[in-house]
Every structure is written in structure tokens, then in C-alpha cells.
Amino acid sequence: MNPNFLQTPLVYLKGVGPNRAETLKVELGLETFGDLLQLYPNRYLDKTQYYKIGQLKDSGADVQILGKIVHLKTVEQKRGKRLVASFVDDTGQMDLVWFRSHKWIRENIKLNEPYVVFGRVNKYGSIFSMPHPEMELLKVHQAGLKISMQPIYPSTEKLSNSGITNKVISKLIQQLFIETKADFDETLSQSLLEELKLISRADALLNIHFPKSQELLARAQFRLKFEELFFVQMQLLNKKAIRKHKIKGLPFDQVGEKFNFFFTNHLPFELTNAQKRVIKEIRNDMGSSAQMNRLLQGDVGSGKTIVALMCMLLAIDNDYQACLMAPTEILANQHYNGLKELLADMDITVAILTGSVKKSARRTIHEQLESGELNILVGTHAVLEDKVQFKNLGLAVIDEQHRFGVAQRSKLWRKNSLPPHILVMTATPIPRTLAMSLYGDLDISVIDELPPGRKAIKTVHRYDANRLKVFRFIKDEIKKGRQVYVVYPLIQESEAMDYKDLMDGYESIAREFPLPDFQISIVHGQMKPQDKDYEMERFVKGETQIMVATTVIEVGVNVPNASVMIIESAERFGLSQLHQLRGRVGRGAEQSFCILMTSHKLSSDAKTRLETMVRTNDGFDIAEVDLKLRGPGDLLGTQQSGLLNLKIADIVKDNQILKSARYYAMQLLKVDPKLEKNEHLVIRKAYATLVKDKVIWGYIS
């Protein structure tokens, strides 16, 4: 079939017309024949069986019955009337009931003709009844496409109100099959179809909309999911290949004296094997002539910053500058102070650029960047401003990837004639499933072990009733010279309520831990920045033993002496947030603890989250559970919530299909990167159509 046929606007399909076309576009985003074809059902009603009235059970199930209407009557009720039809077969009698559209039904029903009715059955006394049944004359039913399992399509209130019911959508799709003669081009090669025992594309499309049996439906779903994920992976792998061949990078061909001097004299601790492996991977990337684009994943406290610094030293040894971007001023300042401390005895200049840097200092930074005397710039979004020009930017490190959009990253590229190498760091471990799809075009390095001497944090779940025991435990820890965080949830919509929770909590802790024996800091979002900094500083210096705070401390406060994290109303936090908060302790050599406090009333999701936190410290493990609970949309925060706009596949449930699709896409591109072999021409044609129509780009944010 001519593929352009599927680009025909929906208004030209018989039964649609301008009004329906507009409603379908607004409500479901359907504009063309191809869009309608890819509106896949959410679920199916099994119509493979015809029941007898005598077999009916009061189960509330949807059933299909063959019989005749022998009598119609109108029954008065408190509000309005209902229309009741007596429906019979050779085993008994039941009622069909309508509460509206009486006139239309009376005019159109044929008495004593065989009908097939379908709907949910209720029992009143000894009589079964079916309200607002779907009905078809037996002869019409037999003449239609044999749909043994009825598809239920996505819908909205507005669609139903506009009369575009499930039945109408099903009819439109039948019409589409009639007009296209169900002649759909194959998109996968014969060898793939044979190796994976896949049904043809035409059969898959027919059986996804009009399945003949459960088995054919399952085969159609598998085929279409595989195809969708296969082309997404082809797209990502191609993007990666193009980047490696086309986008020239800066060759850092020497490991010079600054790198070696730091490695020999300044490393604060022995590198873990994971850190060594990652540095080696990055060195290989930067030493090639292609631009590096690498994602560095490592759990809270796994030592990503040291790895990033050593990569920056590589850039400096090759006469280039480096910059490190962080999403918040707190984090940027922390990185800046950390780097200054590590590089204290070395001849390397580091500056920080954030929104609050004074104009005069800013001017100096701009000048030093352009002359090349500034080696490392740490900053927030301020680094992206057009005024900020480097002499020769060689490496850009971006911390907390998901807070920077793709467009912002590309601004960094334009700071140089050749794009700098890019290292993206994230402490939110992205499940491998998701990483394979979202970052399939980035190379991925994982630091999956903690530095030596770090003990795993012990996590326990306690109910509010155990609070006094928890307080006793805190006192014992403080006696040992340790410090404690107590964190309250912050949910923007109810700041007043959250503030009250926080103040109530603060008062009960102040009663339990009175002055002068104990000092308490408090930090929340409604405080002035300077007051917040003052309180944080007191805690960092060890002047206060307890920090009562909202989640403002989630990112980037480093107090090695803090060994206890108490999270109040822990059921109100998401998994990744609980994991980030727990990562604030366990930074010293002492045993640390995380105590999750909750009420007894917990949803099943909350129970799963708490059990997961108690069971494991592994961020990747936690991220997988999070993905299953929340789905991919919410996982990386709102900026990237439309991550994978898939029509039928689900990267969580269809993880195995995803792996298989990536494997076969990689194999194919290995043997025939340009898809020039005869047997791969169908794949090439389908891929070209997808890219041309921008369909495939819509899958990947």
C-alpha cells in the first residue's frame, strides 16, 4: 500500500466529517488515518461466548446473549420513567432496561426478531436485567467483521458527550480497514520475523483491533511492541553512531603533570575499583577524536566529584578549560568549596559564577575566562548566559542531569568552535531499563561501590507510638558526640499545614531536648536565605546537635559527623526522595541510622516504599521499584515527564521485549549500518518514513 495513504487527514474517512475530526484531534491527538490505526485498545471484552438466560449468575460480568424482544412497557418511577423490554430465549426471560432515549428505542426496536445483546447483568429478586445494552440484529451481527473480543478504546468525557462512543470508534477503525483493504506494508525483515516467530504487520494490526482469539491477540501485541521499541532503539543507536563519527571532539592525548601530581599527592582516599574503571572509560573517550557524551551514574556518596575533578585536570593538562554546572546555588557553592580544598596546594585557578555574584566580580571572571587564566568555572544556569565566553572550553560537567533541559545543554556546545566533551552526573540512579531507552545515545558509566571505610546505613521503620524509644536512641547518639537530622515533608500546596507540622515537631523535640544541654537548629522554606545559611552553618560547625528541617536539606549538605536521619511522615515521601535524604548521613566512618516514622494508616504503595528502604541501600534497586510504582513519566521530575511517548509498549512491563529489541537493533547496525542489503530495505524504508514524519522523534524527549 502507498504509505502516504496513512497520512490522509481523518476528515476524509467515511463517517468522520469536520466536527468529529476536530473533536478527535483535540481529545486524542488523532489527525491522520495512521494516527487512528495506532489508537490501540486499552482492554477487551470477551465476546467469544453466547450465554443462555438460564445460565446467568449474579456476578456483575459483561455477557452476550442471543434472544428476542417480545414485549415493551414504560414504568413510572420516582424520577421520570424507565423503558423495559421482555427479552426471551429457550431457557427463560430477562429484562432490558433504558432510563433515557425512550422514543428513539421504541421507534427502532423490532419485536420478535433475533437480537444479540451485550452488557452487564444485575439481579433484582428472581429476575435478571441488563441496563442500556449494546444491541444488534442477529443478521447485522453476522454480516459484520467477526469481533469475538470487543476492543475498548481510550476515551474522554467530551468524546462520549459528543456521541463518539466506543462503538463509533470501533466502526471508524472497521471503515479504515475497508478503505485500506487491510493492506499494510511490512516493516521488519523476513529473517527477524522468522527468528522471533513474529506474525506479519498486517495480521498484527488486524488482531490488535479485531482479535479472533486470546492467542492471536497476545501475538499481535508482542509483534507491535517489539516493532515500536526496535525503531526507538535504532534511532538512539544511530544518533550515537553519528555523534561518534561526525561530531569531532577535542583530542586530549596526554595525561599530564597536574593529573599525575594530584593522583600521587592529593587524593583524599584510595580510589575504588569502580572509580578507576570509570576514569579509564572517560580517558579513552577524551583521547579519541570524537566528542564525549557520557552519563556518570553513582549513588549518593559514591565519589562522583573526585572522578569529575580528575577529568577536569585532564582537560587542563591538555591546555583547555573546564566548567562544572549545578542546579542550585547551595550545590554550586558546595562543589566550589570542595574543589578549592582539594586543589589548595596546586597552581590551578577556580572561580564561582551564580546569580548572587556581584557585578564587579563577574566582570573579572568574564575577563579571566576569555584570557584563559581561569582554569575551572563552577556555576549555576548563569554559566549559560551569552556574555560568558571561554578561551577554550574542553570539558563541561553537568551535575544532576534531569534538572537541565536538552536546550540548555546545547548552549554549552556553542561556547566553542569544536564542542566540549560533556560529562553528565546524576545521583538519582536511573533504572537500567530506563537508561537503555532515555540515554541510549549517551555512553553510560556507573560507580557501583562506595568508598572504603563507609558503612552501610541501617534503616528501620517505626510507628508514632514508638516515639519515646526513638528519642532515647537519639540521646544515646548525641552522648557519643554525633548529630541528628529530623526532616518533615514539604508539599507545596499546603505550606501552612507543613509549617504547622514542622513547628509542632520542633516544640516537642525542644521539650524533650531542653537547653542548655542540647542545641537545636531549624531550617524551612519561609526563612530568609541569610537566616537559613546561619542555621546550616551552626549545624555544620557542630554548634547544634539537632537539625529540624523541611526537605531543603535534600541536596548537598555534607556533615560527616551527622549519623542519624529521622524522616517524619515518611509515607508522604517518594522513594527517590527518601533515598536522597538517607544519603545525607553515612558520610563519616561511624555507623549511621535512618529511622522512618509513620502513622499506622498506610496505603499499599507506602508500605512497599518503606519495605524497600529497609531492605536495601542500593539506589538502582530502589529506582527499579520506583519505576514500577510510579511509571516512567514521573521518574525524573516534571521537566522530562513525557519521556517515552509510546503507543503500545510499556518500558517497565515490557522490559524483556526492550532488551531483545535493543539487541537485534545493535546486531543489525553492526552487519549493515546503512541498511543497504536487500533484505533490510523494508526496515530502511519504514525507518526513513518514521524519521521524515518526525514520528520517531516524538518518542524521545
Q: Is 78 helix (H, G, I), strand (E, B) or coil?
A: coil
Write out pLDDT tens, residues 36-83. 999 999 888 877 788 899 888 877 778 899 999 999 999 888 788 889
Please tell us whether the domain made up of 458-616 is placed in CATH 3.40.50.300: yes
CA gap 278, 311 in Å, rounded: 10
Q: In sequence order, what are the residues at sequence separation of 6 or more whose Cβ sits closer than 8 angstroms to the Cβ of residue 134?
A: 117, 118, 119, 167
Find residue 150's DSSP bridge partners: 45
Which helix (H) or strand (E) element contains residue 612? helix 604-615
Can you give the pLDDT at residue 493? 47
Phi-psi region of 52 (alpha: psi -120 to 50; beta: other; left: phi over 0): beta
Residue-wise pLDDT tens digits, 589-613: 789 999 999 999 899 899 999 999 9
Rounded average pLDDT over 655-667: 90
List residues bridging with 540 in a β-sheet.
none
* Nearest-angstrom CA–CA distance, 537 and 531: 10
Whole-angstrom distance, CA of residue 115 vs CA of residue 95: 14
User: Under CATH, which architecture does the 48-146 domain have?
Assistant: Beta Barrel (2.40)
592 phi/psi in degrees, rounded to 5:
-115, 160
Query: Which pLDDT score, from 0 to 100, does residue 632 have?
Result: 58
| Type of residue at 42 | N
Residue 214 pLDDT level (bands cut at 50, 70, 90):
confident
Return the pLDDT at 639: 33
Looking up cell 502516504 gives: 4
From the centroid of its chain, how far is CA 38? 22
Nearest partner of 16 among 173, 178, 249, judged by Cα? 173
In angstroms, the CA 89 to CA 87 distance is 7
**Do residues 649 and 437 touch, judged by C-beta distance below 8 A?**
no
Average pLDDT, the chain: 86
Contacts of 479 (CB under 8 A, 6+ apart): none
Is residue 437 classed exposed, middle or buried when 0-12, 13-18 and 19+ CB atoms within 10 A define those classes? buried
pLDDT digits (tens, 9 = 90+) for 129-180: 999 998 999 988 888 766 668 889 999 889 988 999 999 999 999 999 999 8
Residues in contact with 40: Cβ distance below 8 Å, sequence separation at least 6, in sequence order: 208, 209, 224, 647, 648
Q: Which amino acid is at 315?
A: A
pLDDT band at 185 (very low <50, low <70, confident <90, very high): very high
Q: Return the residue matching grid coordinates 555512553.
A: 443
Integer angstrom CA distances of residue 700 from 229, 403, 633, 666: 11, 17, 12, 18
User: What are the two backbone dihedrals, phi and then psi, of residue 662, each rounded to the nearest 5 degrees?
Assistant: -65, -40
Q: How far from each other are the two terminal CA atoms of the chain, in whole angstroms? A: 31
Share of the chain above pLDDT 70, in %: 89
**Dihedral (C-alpha) 136, 137, 138, 139: value to the nearest 10 degrees?**
-120
Q: What is the pLDDT of residue 250?
A: 85
Looking from the CA of 91 toward its CB, the CA atoms found within 13 Å total: 10
- Residue found under cell 569529575: 308
User: What are the two backbone dihedrals, phi and then psi, of residue 561, each rounded to the nearest 5 degrees?
Assistant: -80, -10
Stretch(es) of the chain classified as CATH 2.40.50.140: 48-146
DSSP symbol at 295? E
Cell for 474? 537519639
Number of H helices, E strands in the chain: 26, 22
33: confidence class by pLDDT, cuts 50, 70, 90 = very high
Predicted local confidence at residue 260, as pLDDT: 92
Q: How far apart are CA 378 and CA 383, in angstroms?
A: 8
Q: Identify the pLDDT of residue 220.
A: 95
Q: Rounded to an integer, what distance in angstroms lies between the CA atom of residue 227 and that of residue 225?
A: 5
Residue 122 near residue 56 (C-beta atoms within 8 A): no
Q: Which residue has the cell 518518542?
A: 699
Q: Is the pLDDT of residue 245 over 80?
A: no
State residue 405 phi and psi, 5-degree precision: -75, 165
Strand, coil or helix: 89:
strand
Cis peptide before 516 (omega within 30 of 0): yes
- Distance, CA of 468 to chain centre: 39
Per-residue pLDDT of 477-492, as tens digits, reads 999 999 999 998 865 4
Each residue's pLDDT tens digit, 328-379? 787 888 889 889 999 988 999 999 998 888 999 999 999 999 999 999 999 9
- DSSP letter assigned to residue 290: B
Q: For residue 270, what is its C-alpha cell?
A: 584510595
Contact 176, 36 (CB under 8 A): yes
CATH 1.10.150, the chain: domain bounds: 3-45+157-183
Q: State whether residue 511 is helix, strand or coil.
A: helix
**Highest mean pLDDT (candidates 50-64, 255-269, 421-435):** 255-269
DSSP three-state, residue 578: helix
Q: Which long-range contacts (C-beta less than 8 Å, at least 24 apart) are formed by 572-575?
A: 572/489, 572/491, 573/489, 573/609, 574/609, 574/626, 574/630, 575/609, 575/612, 575/613, 575/622, 575/623, 575/625, 575/626, 575/629
Read out DSSP for 2-61?
A: -GGGGGSBGGGSTTTHHHHHHHHHHHH---BHHHHHT---SEEEE-S--B-GGG--SS--
**Secondary element (H or E) of residue 598:** strand 593-598
Has residue 494 got a pLDDT over 90? no
Per-residue model confidence as pLDDT tens digits over 430-484? 666 666 666 666 788 888 887 777 788 999 999 999 999 999 999 999 999 999 9
Q: Which residue has the cell 524483556?
A: 656
3-state secondary structure of 673: coil
Three-state DSSP state, 654:
coil
Q: Are 8 and 32 in contact (CB under 8 A)?
A: yes
CA distance 430 to 636: 8
Q: What is the pLDDT of residues 88-117, one digit of tens each?
A: 999 999 999 998 888 888 989 999 999 999
Residue ranges matching CATH 3.40.50.300 in the chain: 257-287+302-426, 458-616
CATH code of domain 3-45+157-183: 1.10.150
- Residues 465-486 as b/e (b if ≥16 CB within 10 A, e otherwise) read eeeeebeebbeebbeeebbbbb
Contact 387, 370 (CB under 8 A): no
Which DSSP category does 416 fall into?
S
CA distances from 566 to 374, 521, 542, 581 (A): 42, 15, 18, 9
**Three-class SS of residue 596?**
strand
Q: Which residues neighbour 464 within 8 Å (Cβ) at sequence distance 6 or greater?
A: 597, 598, 599, 600
Q: Residue 59: which residues within 8 A CB-CB, separation 6 or more?
A: 121
User: What pLDDT is recorded for position 553?
Assistant: 64
Neighbours of 190 (CB within 10 A): 10
Tally Cβ neighbours within 10 Å of residue 171. 14
Conformational region of residue 110, where left means phi above 0, alpha means psi within -120 to 50, and beta covers everything else: beta
Is the distance from CB of 352 to CB of 332 less than 8 angstroms? yes
Question: Residue 463: which of 568, 548, 546, 565 has the closest Cα?
Answer: 568
Phi/psi at 285 (nearest 5 deg)?
A: -60, -50
Homologous superfamily assigned to 257-287+302-426: P-loop containing nucleotide triphosphate hydrolases (3.40.50.300)
